[in-house]
Structure 1
């Protein structure tokens, strides 16, 4: 069977259908945040709705939704449970990349699609390492893919491998060690690794402030044997240097900021609900009727309106064929992140102690939204690159 023989579901992307998925995820989000367990209920809900394979290309039997609809999905998932949304974002990005360029070996991608048709099949690019950190700021991995008589042997230690044991496939950043290679300038690429391959060991290291259910643990590869086609080289630039694919934003890289816009929307809904229900004895009416709380609600709404306009507007302009904003994609992501954080912080600051107790969802939303800052390109790098572009051209 080939990938093209599969027919994956076409998801219902109406506002009502997405809102129903949001509500289903939200019903278990607090439970998974407290336990740190893999959010299986939310993952299953996203799979049943056809959202985990929404970006599979039509030529592979998928619906091939646009980047705009992909971020709509992730806003909805992020509003329900951002840990589920992060797992989905990484998976959707993998399928988007394959839709643009068939870089996966055909047998591996066909297997991924078969698994996706049968149940949730998560994928993640696993790049960070304990010593190096994230590669967006340069450096080469210590993880090595060594040539064997019939393929490759992968060995190394990776950090922040979101998805953990739930991953159907790992896309592992590594250096190639091969007899015919140049030791001074080795090939660098991604190794496509089935999650159930022999030689993979997980180390439970994830004990984080936010996105606690994302299962972002360390993973060790010890002589993991893979076929010859498993190594996919990253092309060098014109200057002979490898460029980290995550070091600059592209049109299909807005899934991560989108899920945090969803977190801000969840905080707004919680603020409205709390303000309507909270009736201090000294006031004798809901705090929602006071000008102070109404002004804060307006501030929250303004920040979310800005984040959504930047998010959707960026993609709509690209769909319309505009290119003048493409050099600004990285700083647009920065601004989306800033406004999502500002919306949640406004809610927390206005409510004081109730917003910081675990009996209310605000502190969870704050912890989760702060994680937007870790996704590359990070704020200082994006601003530096934008400033250099302006001042040197």
Structure 2
């Protein structure tokens, strides 16, 4: 019996044809403006992604899933990002969670079985909850103040986290914490993640998200107060050979390109919005659509160039990884930064060319620009990447 046959669940292989993905993009896009205005969780968009099998596309074969790889995952997230960046961000975190469990199982069996069960009946978002109000982004160093304390039956989770995308809609949280144990070394505490069902007692959401972009992502603060967990809920993150703990997100790795992919989708949406406006805008003094002018045609070409550059960087990196090329791995973080620059350049170029109409809330370009700017917040961030790259080049 194969692992997939041993699983009580079976997840469909999603339709990744251009037409199939375009249909999901269009359905999600139809509600994106409304959710951006209200800030509510984009359930309609998540439902569309769920029905298409896109939220479970990375579930491991041993769990009855299709276990799609990084290239297919990137295509999915680009399509979702083109529809609604908030939907795509929640989906990206969920797909990353499933992919991690497929490659390195670490969840309590009962908890992951429950997540799979929930994922069979509707959207079941999961996310790594890591940032803290005092610490900020963990990729910049430091240890969390959030703790899991050993109890007679398992663990007790306490602390406050920030920027927990998905909010109260999360089925499961993967919480970064320090272990507090009677026989532990306080100088070298164990650091890891605890798997937390989102509906346990002791979890309180603090609505803090009032952001420029990704307004429907519900990236709120969350407080854990005496949340009781089983003994197998904690998975330690190993220290390096030198005994020092380094945050896994401090540098890009082979699985780090889901977030950039979704923002390429945002840039694509900006390109479409620009083209739609240019084809229909007929100034009285011109007497024809501005799309027929060389200036607007050149702007459209610049937007397309930036998107082509971002896509080539993304899929070029994934293909090299797939081929086993390890020589360029130190440059993965720089590639992420370059993708971010192209995404932002594409959307800013579109908005700048249209002037006031591009900044009007009646025009989707305004939302796409706000969403695109959020690519900068995902670790590793540009200043850290450039510093590390410079030191590597200079051998210092």
TM-score class, shorter: over 0.9
Residue 165 of structure 1 is aligned with which of 150, 165, 168?
A: 168
Contact 1:83 1:212 in 2 (8 A): yes
Tell me by how many angstroms 1:101 deviates.
0.8
Structure 2 residue aligned with 1:288? 291
User: Are 1:183 and 2:182 matched, yes or no?
Assistant: no
What is the alpha-carbon root mean square deviation over aligned residues?
Answer: 1.1
Distance 1:145 1:82 in 2: 33
Distance 1:322 1:154 in 2: 41
TM-score, with structure 1 as normaliser: 0.98
Structure 2 residue aligned with 1:36? 39
Structure 1 residue aligned with 2:151? 148
Structure 2 residue aligned with 1:223? 226
Alpha-carbon deviations, 1:48-79, whole Å to 9, x = none? 00000101111111001110000000000000
Structure 2 residue aligned with 1:108? 111
Contact 1:47 1:120 in 2 (8 A): yes
Structure 1 residue aligned with 2:281? 278
User: Are 1:13 and 2:13 matched, yes or no?
Assistant: no
Distance 1:391 1:57 in 2: 41
Contact 1:3 1:113 in 2 (8 A): no
Structure 2 residue aligned with 1:344? 347
Structure 2 residue aligned with 1:383? 386
User: Are 1:371 and 2:390 matched, yes or no?
Assistant: no
C-alpha spacing 1:3/1:391, structure 2 compared with 1 (3 Å): farther
User: Are 1:58 and 2:61 matched, yes or no?
Assistant: yes
User: Are 1:88 and 2:128 matched, yes or no?
Assistant: no
Contact 1:3 1:109 in 2 (8 A): no
Structure 2 residue aligned with 1:319? 322
Distance 1:245 1:106 in 2: 24
Contact 1:3 1:110 in 2 (8 A): no
Distance 1:159 1:80 in 2: 26
Structure 2 residue aligned with 1:49? 52
Give 3-state SS (helix, strand or coil) of 2:176's partner: strand
Distance 1:299 1:106 in 2: 50
Distance 1:106 1:387 in 2: 44
Structure 1 residue aligned with 2:208? 205
Distance 1:267 1:3 in 2: 45
Q: Which runs of 4+ in 1 moved over 6 A?
A: none
Contact 1:260 1:340 in 2 (8 A): yes
- Structure 1 alignment gaps of length 5 or more: none
Residue 138 of structure 2 is aligned with which of 117, 120, 135?
A: 135
Give 3-state SS (helix, strand or coil) of 1:159's partner: strand
Alpha-carbon deviations, 1:197-248, whole Å to 9, x = none? 1100001110000000000000000000000000110100011111111111
- Structure 2 alignment gaps of length 5 or more: none
Alpha-carbon deviations, 1:265-321, whole Å to 9, x = none? 000000111000000000000000001100000000000000000011111122222
Give 3-state SS (helix, strand or coil) of 2:318's partner: helix
Alpha-carbon deviations, 1:113-169, whole Å to 9, x = none? 111112111000000111111100101111010111000000001000000011000
Give 3-state SS (helix, strand or coil) of 2:255's partner: helix
Residue 74 of structure 1 is aligned with which of 59, 73, 77?
A: 77
Distance 2:386 2:58 in 1: 30
